[in-house]
Chains A and B, each alone.
Chain A
Amino acid sequence: MGAEEKDLRDFKLQPMKCELNFLSKSDGSAILSQGDTVALVSVNGPLDIKSTSQSIEKSTLEILFCSKGGKPSVADRYKENVIRQTCEKAVLGCLYPRTGITITIQELEDFGGFLSCALNCACLALLNSGVSLRHVFACVTCGVDEKGEVVLGGRGCDTQISCVFDSIDKTLITCFSEGTYSEGTYLEAVARCRAASELVFAFYRDVVSKYSNAI
């Protein structure tokens, strides 16, 4: 345990700032900045959707990703898919059959690590919207520097590994990476991210408790 505690103290994530209920019209929204990267997410639902996309077993998640320039691209679809699959694991969809939940993500500033910021922001917006969740999730990014050492945050590194963990068992839900790295680096990065996810969860708790005190 001692080693882990020491690790935790050494960890420095990008400074995070968040405001819940940033948008007045949506059911839930959050704006999150991790360092210079800023994402805005709104959640609407459960709502009625057209019958072709309804599912009798669970609610359908619709993810809309708007990049800063506004032009859609293939990379955006990939990001949407990552966010959809991650949220689908977290949302208790079976409580809302035949409905749709729409999650809209707007990219405001991207100075690296946008996808991990968007995932964390989506989680906060889901919390804010009051949709039932199985667990919350946290995304942490690790970089690998020139010497092959794993650095948390790791902005500007060519190689980046991002992992999403759930809050209950700390198991890996989603993982995506950039660049090449060795096997050992990978396992180390996952372990580091897992430990650091604790910080993100603490941040969530902090944000939500402050928000609920305010209301």
Chain B
Amino acid sequence: MAEIYKLIHPVKYFNDYISRDIRPDGRKFHEQRNIKVNVNSLKTAEASAVVKCGNTTVVCGVQLELATPKAEEPELGFLVTNVELTPLCSSKYRPGPPSDNAQVQSYMLSDIFSNSKCIDLKDLCIVPDKLAWVVYCDIVCLDNDGSLVDACIIALMASLKTLSLPTVTYDPETEEIKVDPDVRTPLKVDGCPVATSFAVYKLTERNILLTDPSAYEEEMCGGLGAHFTVCLNKGLICGNHKFGGSHLLMENQEEVLKIAKERANLVVKVIDSCIKNEKSIDK
């Protein structure tokens, strides 16, 4: 019965739930979905992480390559992040080159990441002007059920925190490169940016914020993707993207910052405990 109602009167169906202070999936407005993190499950990648936030599933794989640094920035290495929205994660996506939406998600992720400055690109340089690491981080979405950027950032940070670089010896005269993959130094990661997404829904005169929205909720609030993403790193805001959705009032923003702070602490704990567990298993 409910399914038919949902099909015929999509807006009314959603309104009925929201006006009773509950969301269609049974969550409260500020309740988040469960987060599951698993690191190093893929052996072909240097470091990897699988993250599930509710139904949203993303996999991040890191690969290492060597290249000469750019002439204008001889002391910097490279870190390339890309988000891939595969056609299998939702019927909205078709095979082929990345859609506009995928590019927006990719940009948001790399913007948040570079703003947070949690990785110093100088650490990725081996010999200035000659040799530097290229860290390719590919984040693949297997199931898109909303709040994609949140999950992507968690996956990216979890895999970077487990990444270690092999030692490289470079002979400046012969330009010979030797790599010893057995002796590794872990990559320095400073802080951990955590993104929190909100969908903004306007119910008559009330502005309602839905934390960690699902794909259905994002759609009902209008437009693609979450509307408001706040990213915190060590208590500082390092990314703030709001577009589409309903307009925001001042008091909404204070509310948002409070929730984002709580969530940032929680996520950092989840990632750290997951990595610790993994290490204890290895030993």
Partners in one complex: yes
Residues of A that sit less than 8 Å from B by CB: 74-75, 77-78, 80-82, 85-86, 88-89, 161, 166, 169, 171-183, 186-187, 190-191
Give the distance to chain A from B92, nearest Cβ to Cβ, in Å.
14
Whose C-beta in chain A lies nearest to the C-beta of B100? A77
A183 CA to B242 CA, complexed, in Å: 16
B40 within 8 A of A: no
Structural contact, A183 and B240, CB atoms closer than 8 A: no
**Residues on the A chain within 8 Å of B254, using CB:** 187
A177 CA to B235 CA, complexed, in Å: 16
Whose C-beta in chain B lies nearest to the C-beta of A75? B107
Given contacts A178-B115, A187-B253, contact A78 B248 (CB under 8 A): no
A60 CA to B100 CA, complexed, in Å: 15
Give the distance to chain A from B224, nearest Cβ to Cβ, in Å.
8
B220 within 8 A of A: no
Structural contact, A77 and B103, CB atoms closer than 8 A: yes
**Residues on the B chain within 8 Å of A182, using CB:** 235-237
Structural contact, B237 and A85, CB atoms closer than 8 A: no
Give the distance to chain B from A11, nearest Cβ to Cβ, in Å.
19
Residues of B that sit less than 8 Å from A by CB: 100-101, 103-104, 106-108, 111, 115-117, 223, 228, 233, 235-244, 247-250, 253-254, 257
Give the distance to chain B from A102, nearest Cβ to Cβ, in Å.
15
Give the distance to chain B from A167, nearest Cβ to Cβ, in Å.
12
Give the distance to chain B from A53, nearest Cβ to Cβ, in Å.
12
Structural contact, B236 and A171, CB atoms closer than 8 A: no
**Residues on the B chain within 8 Å of A85, using CB:** 223, 243-244
Whose C-beta in chain A lies nearest to the C-beta of B242? A175
Give the distance to chain B from A115, nearest Cβ to Cβ, in Å.
11
Give the distance to chain B from A181, nearest Cβ to Cβ, in Å.
6
8 additional A-B residue pairs with CB within 8 Å, beyond A181-B237, A182-B235, A186-B257: A78-B111, A174-B243, A178-B115, A179-B238, A180-B116, A180-B117, A183-B257, A190-B253
**Residues on the B chain within 8 Å of A179, using CB:** 115, 238
Given contacts A77-B104, A78-B104, contact A169 B247 (CB under 8 A): yes
List the 10 shortest-distance A-B pairs measured between CB atoms, nearest first. A171-B247, A85-B243, A85-B244, A77-B103, A78-B107, A175-B242, A172-B248, A180-B238, A180-B236, A177-B240
**Residues on the A chain within 8 Å of B107, using CB:** 74-75, 77-78
Structural contact, A82 and B243, CB atoms closer than 8 A: yes
A191 CA to B250 CA, complexed, in Å: 9
Structural contact, A86 and B248, CB atoms closer than 8 A: no
19 A-B pairs with CB atoms under 8 Å apart are A74-B103, A74-B106, A81-B104, A85-B243, A88-B244, A89-B244, A173-B248, A175-B241, A176-B241, A176-B242, A177-B115, A179-B115, A180-B238, A182-B237, A183-B237, A186-B240, A186-B257, A187-B250, A191-B250
Whose C-beta in chain A lies nearest to the C-beta of B107? A78
**Residues on the B chain within 8 Å of A80, using CB:** 100
**Residues on the B chain within 8 Å of A88, using CB:** 223, 244
Whose C-beta in chain A lies nearest to the C-beta of B244? A85
Structural contact, A161 and B240, CB atoms closer than 8 A: yes
Which of A75, A82, A177 counts the most B-chain CB atoms under 10 A from its CB? A177
**Residues on the B chain within 8 Å of A178, using CB:** 111, 115
Q: Which residue of B243, B249, B253 is within 8 Å of A81 (Cβ)?
A: B243
Given contacts A88-B223, A179-B115, A183-B237, contact A173 B106 (CB under 8 A): no
A131 CA to B69 CA, complexed, in Å: 50
A161 CA to B136 CA, complexed, in Å: 29
Give the distance to chain B from A112, nearest Cβ to Cβ, in Å.
16
A83 CA to B253 CA, complexed, in Å: 22
Given contacts A166-B247, A169-B247, contact A81 B100 (CB under 8 A): yes
A191 CA to B247 CA, complexed, in Å: 15
A61 CA to B178 CA, complexed, in Å: 54
Structural contact, A181 and B236, CB atoms closer than 8 A: yes
A166 CA to B249 CA, complexed, in Å: 12
Given contacts A181-B236, A182-B235, contact A171 B104 (CB under 8 A): no
**Residues on the B chain within 8 Å of A78, using CB:** 103-104, 107-108, 111
